């Protein structure tokens, strides 16, 4: 009977140790994740700050007007190079069918 109690006690102690280790590992993992998120945010804000800064030779009288004129001649294109209105037409099968039918009727 005493041996059974000792064995139970050992099993409980082992379970508590494993639980403590897993809790410690969970805390360390969550801390690593938090650190990774913080570092990512810091790097993004640093990149944004670097992008916002203009070089001294880029700043001159009329720089804003030149930038706006360039945007008029070469409009901003999204990274995926798809215009929103075109994507809507492609996403809606009814519009595609009517466009195809209209081209066949002509």
In the chain, where are the structural domains located?
1-53, 56-106
In whole angstroms, give the CA distance from residue 13 to residue 19: 10
In whole angstroms, give the CA distance from residue 102 to residue 98: 6
Please give the share of the chain, as a percent, with pLDDT higher than 90: 17
Q: Which of 8-17, 49-58, 67-76, 79-88: highest mean pLDDT? A: 8-17
Secondary element (H or E) of residue 39: helix 2-52
User: 42-51, 61-70, 93-102 — which is least confidently predicted?
Assistant: 93-102
Q: Which residue has the higher pLDDT, 44 or 59?
A: 44
């Amino acid at each position: 009977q005493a041996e059974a109690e000792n064995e139970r006690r050992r099993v409980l102690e082992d379970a508590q140790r494993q639980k403590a280790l897993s809790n410690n590992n969970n805390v360390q993992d969550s801390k690593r994740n938090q650190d990774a998120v913080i570092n990512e945010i810091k790097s993004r804000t640093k990149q944004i700050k670097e992008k916002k800064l203009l070089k001294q030779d880029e700043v001159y009288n009329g720089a804003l007007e030149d930038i706006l004129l360039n945007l008029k001649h070469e409009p901003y294109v999204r990274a995926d190079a798809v215009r929103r209105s075109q994507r809507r037409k492609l996403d809606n099968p009814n519009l595609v069918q009517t466009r195809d039918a209209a081209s066949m009727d002509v």
